[in-house]
């Protein structure tokens, strides 16, 4: 796997806002590789350092220490003219879309082509091609304020693609949109990734966004990376407290504390969680195995989520029966299904 973007021990410290104040370490010793053609999600609460990281990746600000390579070139040591050139290979989309209100939809995209140096004779055809790609061929002559938020972001994406970038940085690109429109924009970003092969770094505070399209995710807190991994793994086995909080916004937490105590009292028996992935017949296999061994069970709580197109199912069951029989039943299915006793 070749790294498209390689971020190595990067820190960014802002000087104190006023004399006697303290410096802000917005990014602390961050190292992460982004593979060519992948969608990397960066998630964190407000102030975690996500936007700063984006500004460092496109060299809008200098790093305080460490370095960043894009296609093997250290961009932190480039002269400003070379940096401008490098930046042409990076498209950006923003939370507030940042479209020019005085120009039509076509005008916004055309302007980006102009800046990218596309000869005038080719621009009209390219504008049409780009607007068709984002599904707005019929809105060319409208002004941005005549479009919905989702449509405006699609113009933003068309504009970002104008210079045929290899990388797209999306900074909270769906945060101003409702859930349905968010899905629409995310599907488009997925097409940008799959059909055009563009590497995407997706900054967000919405775990839903990560669950839908990110191949991998890094979780940031106070400037540092606290957790990183394949999206499915992070969702199904989060480690740090902040990651667990984020995951709980998508994957419904199992009952705990007083709720769990009440359920135990009501149902009796031993409590187990059953976790399974792609095989949607998994829970039936567990139930059959318990039946076979003569153990009784009740389903207490359950949910199935879709993480990056894969199923993640989790059930809580109360089981009554002989301990050996229960152990035999679970051993029979343990290969593909994770079963944990809830203490
Ligand atoms: N230009 C700046 N000068 C001084 N401090 C800054 C500057 N930009 C960001 N910071 C500080 O750096 C920290 C990280 O900010 P950053 O905007 O990168 O976080 P974020 O995760 O993107 O959050 P948000 O989503 O709210 O923008 C914050 O404490 C912020 O106040």
- How far apart CA 243 and CA 233 sit, in angstroms, is 12
* pLDDT of residue 191 exceeding 90: yes
* pLDDT of residue 250 exceeding 80: yes
* High-pLDDT (> 90) share of the chain, %: 83
Kindly give, in sequence order, each residue whose CB lies less than 8 Å from that of residue 297, ignoring residues fewer than 6 positions away. 269, 287, 290, 317, 318, 319, 320
Return the ligand 1 atom nearest residue 27 CA: 14
Q: Is 249 helix (H, G, I), strand (E, B) or coil?
A: coil
Return the ligand 1 atom nearest residue 55 CA: 18
Task: For residue 136, give the DSSP letter.
Answer: -
For 143, other C-beta atoms within 10 Å of its C-beta total 16
So what CATH class is 257-341? alpha beta
Distance 27 CA to ligand 1 centre (A): 9
β-sheet bridge partners, residue 42? 203, 218
The rounded Cα 21 to chain-centroid distance in angstroms is: 34
Mind listing the pLDDT tens digit for each residue in 1-55? Answer: 578 999 999 999 999 888 888 999 999 999 999 999 999 999 999 999 999 999 9
Who lines ligand 1 at CB under 6 A?
14, 24, 26, 44, 46-52
Sheet containing strand 65-70, strands side by side: 24-35, 3-14, 65-70, 73-74
β-sheet bridge partners, residue 10? 30
Fold topology of 3-14+21-248: Rossmann fold (3.40.50)
User: Does 257-341 match 3-14+21-248 at the fold level?
Assistant: no
Q: Encode burial over 175-214: b for 16+ CB neighbours within 10 A, e otherwise.
A: ebbeeebbbbbbebbeebbeeeebbbbbbbbbbebbbbbb
β-sheet bridge partners, residue 225? 220
Distance 57 CA to ligand 1 centre (A): 15
Nearest to 188 by CA among 93, 70, 115: 93
Per-domain residue ranges of the chain: 3-14+21-248, 257-341
Say yes or no: ipTM exceeds 0.85. Answer: yes
Task: Please tell me the predicted confidence (pLDDT) of residue 134.
Answer: 97
Q: Please give the backbone phi and psi of residue 333, each rounded to the nearest 5 degrees, phi first.
A: -120, 5
Distance 51 CA to ligand 1 centre (A): 7
Distance 222 CA to ligand 1 centre (A): 10
Task: For residue 147, give the DSSP letter.
Answer: S
| Cβ atoms of residues 170 and 203 within 8 Å | yes
β-sheet bridge partners, residue 317? 272, 299
Which of 10, 21, 22, 51 for mutating ligand 1's site (highest number of atoms within 8 Å of CB)? 51
Distance 275 CA to ligand 1 centre (A): 38
Q: How confident is the model at residue 336 (pLDDT cuts 50, 70, 90)?
A: confident
- Name the CA radius of gyration of the chain, rounded: 24
Atom 5 of ligand 1, residue of closest alpha carbon: 14
Q: pTM of the prediction?
A: 0.90
Mind listing the pLDDT tens digit for each residue in 270-317? Answer: 999 999 887 656 788 899 999 999 999 999 998 889 999 888 989 999
């Amino acid at each position: 796997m070749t790294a498209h973007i390689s971020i190595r021990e990067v820190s960014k410290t802002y000087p104190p806002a006023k004399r006697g104040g303290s410096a802000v370490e917005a990014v602390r010793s961050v190292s992460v590789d982004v593979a060519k053609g992948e969608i990397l999600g960066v998630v964190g609460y407000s102030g975690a350092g996500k936007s700063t990281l984006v500004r460092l990746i496109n060299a809008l600000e200098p790093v305080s220490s460490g370095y960043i390579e894009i296609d093997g070139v250290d961009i932190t040591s480039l002269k400003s003219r070379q940096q401008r050139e490098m930046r042409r290979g990076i498209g950006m989309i923003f939370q507030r879309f940042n479209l020019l209100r005085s120009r039509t939809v076509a005008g916004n995209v055309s302007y980006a082509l102009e800046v990218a140096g596309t000869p005038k004779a080719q621009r009209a055809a390219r504008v049409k091609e780009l607007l068709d790609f984002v599904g707005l061929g019929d809105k060319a002559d409208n002004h941005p304020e005549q479009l919905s938020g989702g449509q405006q972001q699609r113009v933003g994406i068309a504009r970002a693609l104008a210079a045929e970038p290899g990388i797209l940085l999306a900074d909270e690109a769906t945060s101003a949109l409702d859930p349905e429109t968010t899905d629409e924009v995310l599907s488009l970003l997925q097409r940008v990734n799959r059909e055009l092969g563009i590497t995407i770094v997706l900054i967000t505070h919405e775990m839903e966004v990560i669950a839908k399209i990110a191949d991998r995710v890094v979780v940031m807190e106070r400037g540092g990376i606290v957790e990183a991994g394949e999206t499915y793994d992070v969702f199904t086995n989060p480690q740090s407290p902040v990651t667990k909080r984020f995951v709980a916004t998508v994957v419904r937490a199992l009952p705990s504390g007083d709720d769990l105590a009440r359920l135990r009292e009501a149902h009796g028996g031993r409590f187990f969680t059953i976790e399974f992935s792609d095989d949607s017949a998994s829970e039936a296999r567990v139930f059959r195995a318990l039946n076979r061994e003569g153990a009784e069970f009740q389903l207490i709580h359950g949910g199935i989520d879709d993480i990056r197109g894969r199923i993640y199912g989790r059930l809580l069951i109360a089981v009554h029966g002989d301990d050996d029989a229960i152990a035999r039943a679970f051993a029979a299915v343990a290969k593909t299904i994770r079963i944990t006793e809830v203490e």
